[in-house]
């Protein structure tokens, strides 16, 4: 029996009531906890489907779906990264997880930054995949595009995969995600500099996040590590829209992530 099969066999999932919201989560594997927070317009599998079986060989993976995404309910409120951070913190408390490594991708990385700012006691280590902390971290064209965002502009595979999980909520999720980005405000420098957890920042060299922004975050988060990987937004973890013919697991950054997590573990 392969490790991958073992990790999959220990799969569990459920819902918890957090801050008045019924929140969906999945658990894979055993070991030290690693929380996965998906990107905007996504679900657990869309963002992390390719890396979960690999990461779960040696760790307990807790993957979540945020407000109005996938199987998690919506509230009659706009989305915010701060609220998402509080929801994840509340979920971990319900699951009796007092400290965990947290890996967020894209919007999920911005949520992860907010967890580190608002709930530092929960954070063992941070992995920020394509994080955005300031509006100038994305080229100007993006902000013009997002003002006119429509569901037809979502990549077809993203719409199809999302609809497998939550067909009735696709439009609502899209509209709320777009509104959140239109209204996005910079995270203050002093808040970013307050982050003390060991941090790994990863972007692609053809990412929507600029290398300059990743470098700024790297300089502001003391002791952080920065990796710029060939490829586009999320290609380094096999996010679903990046999968090309001839895809191989060996192209993913899982060994680098494991090295980062293990290296810090040795120093504890």
- Give dist(CA 152, CA 34) in Å, integer: 34
pLDDT at position 10 is: 72
Q: Are 255 and 227 in contact, with CB atoms under 8 Å apart?
A: no
Count CB atoms within 10 A of the CB of residue 35.
Answer: 27
pLDDT at position 267 is: 44
pLDDT at position 264 is: 60
- Give dist(CA 184, CA 44) in Å, integer: 23
- Give dist(CA 161, CA 167) in Å, integer: 9
Q: Name residues of the chain where pLDDT drops below 50.
A: 1-8, 265-268
Note the pLDDT tens digit of each residue in 6-19: 444 578 999 999 99
Which pair of structure tokens corresponds to residue 251?
């192209």
Domains of the chain: 3-267 (3.40.50.1820)
pLDDT at position 263 is: 87
Encode burial over 119-147: b for 16+ CB neighbours within 10 A, e otherwise.
beebbbbbbbbbbbbbeebbeeeeeeebe
Residue with tokens 């509080």: 86
Q: Are 61 and 36 in contact, with CB atoms under 8 Å apart?
A: yes
pLDDT at position 3 is: 41
Question: What is the value of pTM for the model shown?
Answer: 0.95
- Give dist(CA 65, CA 68) in Å, integer: 8
Q: Are 59 and 32 in contact, with CB atoms under 8 Å apart?
A: yes
To which H or E segment does residue 202 belong? strand 199-204
Which pair of structure tokens corresponds to residue 193?
């500099």
- Give dist(CA 29, CA 46) in Å, integer: 19
Q: Are 35 and 102 in contact, with CB atoms under 8 Å apart?
A: yes
């Amino acid at each position: 029996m392969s490790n991958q099969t073992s990790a999959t066999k220990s799969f569990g999932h459920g819902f918890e009531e957090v801050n008045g919201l019924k929140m969906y989560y999945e658990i894979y594997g055993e070991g030290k906890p690693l929380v996965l927070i998906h990107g905007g317009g996504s679900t657990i599998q869309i963002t992390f489907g390719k890396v979960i079986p690999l990461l779960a060989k040696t760790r307990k993976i807790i993957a979540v779906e945020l407000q109005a995404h996938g199987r998690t309910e919506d509230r009659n409120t706009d989305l915010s990264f701060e609220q998402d951070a509080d929801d994840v913190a509340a979920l971990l408390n319900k699951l009796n997880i007092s400290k965990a490594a947290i890996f967020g991708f894209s919007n999920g990385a911005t949520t992860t930054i907010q967890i580190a700012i608002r709930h530092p006691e929960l954070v063992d280590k941070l992995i920020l995949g394509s994080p955005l902390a300031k509006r100038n971290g994305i080229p100007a064209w993006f902000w013009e595009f997002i003002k006119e965002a429509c569901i037809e502009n979502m990549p077809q595979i993203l719409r199809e995969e999302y609809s497998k999980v939550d067909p009735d909520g696709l439009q609502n999720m899209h509209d709320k995600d777009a509104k959140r980005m239109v209204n996005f405000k910079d995270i203050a420098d002093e808040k970013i500099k307050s982050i003390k957890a060991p941090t790994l920042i990863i972007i692609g060299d053809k990412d929507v996040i600029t290398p300059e922004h990743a470098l700024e975050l790297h300089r502001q988060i003391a002791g952080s590590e920065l990796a710029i990987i060939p490829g586009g937004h999320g290609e380094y973890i096999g996010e679903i829209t990046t999968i090309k013919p001839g895809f191989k697991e060996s192209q993913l950054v899982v060994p680098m992530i494991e090295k980062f997590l293990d290296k810090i573990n040795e120093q504890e």
